[in-house]
Structure 1
Amino acid sequence: MDFVNVDTSKIEAEILQAYETISGKKLYPADPVRLILETVAYVVAILKNDINYTGKQNLLAYAKGEYLDKLGELLGVKRTGATNAITTLRFFVSEPLAFDVLIPQGTRVTPDNKIFFETMEEAKIIAGQLSVDVQAKCQTAGAVGNGFLPGQINQIVDIIPYVDSVQNVSVSYGGSNIESDEHLRERIRLAPESFSNAGSKGAYIFHTKSAHSEIEDVSVLSPSAGVVKIVFLMKDGALPNSDLIQIVQNYLNSETVRPLTDQVIVEAPIVVSYNIDLTYYIHKDFSTLVPIIKSQVEQAVNDFIAYQKTKIGRDILPEELIGRLKQIDGVYRIQLKSPTFTEILEDQVASAANVLITYGGLVDD
Structure 2
Amino acid sequence: VLIDPIPYIQSVSNVTTSSGGTDRESDEAYRERIHIAPESFSTAGPEGAYEYFAMSASPLIVDVSVREATPGVVEIRPLLQNGELPGQEILDLVLETCNDRKARPLTDHVQALVPEQVPYDLNVTYWIGTSNSNTVATIQSNVEQAIKDYKLWQCSKQGRDIDPSELITRVKNAGAKRAMVSSPVYQAVESYKVAKLNTENITFGGLEDD
1:186 deviates by: 2.4
Q: Give runs of aligned pairs for residues 131-170 of structure 1, distance below 5 A.
A: 158=10, 168=14, 170=16
Q: Aligned with 2:119: secondary structure?
A: strand
Q: Aligned with 1:295: secondary structure?
A: helix
Cα deviation per residue 1:67-87 (whole Å; 9 max; x = unaligned)?
xxxxxxxxxxxxxxxxxxxxx
TM-score computed with the length of structure 2 as normaliser: 0.90
Contact 1:217 1:311 in 2 (8 A): yes
Alignment match, 1:348 = 193
Tell me how far apart the structure 2 counterparts of residues 120 and 345 of structure 1 sit (CA, whole Å). 50
Alignment match, 1:259 = 105
Give 2:59's match in structure 1, choosing from 187, 191, 213. 213
1:198 deviates by: 1.3
Q: Aligned with 1:336: secondary structure?
A: strand
Contact 1:313 1:345 in 2 (8 A): yes
Q: 1:241 is aligned with what amino acid?
A: G
Aligned in 2, Cα 1:355/1:170: closer, same or farther, shift over 3 Å?
same
Q: Aligned with 2:120: secondary structure?
A: strand
Aligned in 2, Cα 1:122/1:204: closer, same or farther, shift over 3 Å?
farther
Alignment match, 2:206 = 361
Aligned in 2, Cα 1:364/1:317: closer, same or farther, shift over 3 Å?
same
| Count of aligned pairs between the two proteins | 210
Q: 1:304 is aligned with what amino acid?
A: Y
1:119 deviates by: 10
Aligned in 2, Cα 1:273/1:252: closer, same or farther, shift over 3 Å?
same
1:172 deviates by: 2.0
Alignment match, 2:114 = 268
* Larger relative contact order (CA 8 Å, sep ≥ 6): 2
Alignment match, 2:84 = 238
Cα deviation per residue 1:40-87 (whole Å; 9 max; x = unaligned)?
xxxxxxxxxxxxxxxxxxxxxxxxxxxxxxxxxxxxxxxxxxxxxxxx
Contact 2:79 2:85 in 1 (8 A): yes
Tell me how far apart the structure 1 counterparts of residues 90 and 32 of structure 2 sit (CA, whole Å). 20
1:348 deviates by: 0.8
Alignment match, 1:335 = 180
Contact 1:279 1:357 in 2 (8 A): yes
The CA RMSD over aligned residues, in Å, is 2.4
Does residue 286 (structure 1) correspond to residue 132 (structure 2)? The answer is yes
Contact 1:194 1:203 in 2 (8 A): yes
1:175 deviates by: 4.9
Tell me how far apart the structure 2 counterparts of residues 121 and 351 of structure 1 sit (CA, whole Å). 48
Aligned in 2, Cα 1:248/1:288: closer, same or farther, shift over 3 Å?
same
Contact 1:174 1:244 in 2 (8 A): no
Decide which moves more: 346-355 or 292-301: 346-355
Contact 1:173 1:244 in 2 (8 A): no
Q: Aligned with 1:233: secondary structure?
A: strand
Aligned in 2, Cα 1:188/1:169: closer, same or farther, shift over 3 Å?
closer
Cα deviation per residue 1:240-274 (whole Å; 9 max; x = unaligned)?
00111011111111111111011111111012121
1:337 deviates by: 1.0
1:237 deviates by: 1.5
Cα deviation per residue 1:139-185 (whole Å; 9 max; x = unaligned)?
xxxxxxxxxxxxxxxxxxx57xxxxxx86552125854233444333
Q: 1:186 is aligned with what amino acid?
A: E
Alignment match, 1:195 = 41
Identity level (%):
41
Alignment match, 2:163 = 317
Aligned in 2, Cα 1:300/1:181: closer, same or farther, shift over 3 Å?
closer
Aligned in 2, Cα 1:294/1:119: closer, same or farther, shift over 3 Å?
farther
Which runs of 5 or more residues in structure 2 are unaligned? none
Q: 1:346 is aligned with what amino acid?
A: S
Tell me how far apart the structure 2 counterparts of residues 340 and 299 of structure 1 sit (CA, whole Å). 21
Q: Aligned with 2:177: secondary structure?
A: strand
Structure exhibiting the larger radius of gyration computed from Cα positions: 1
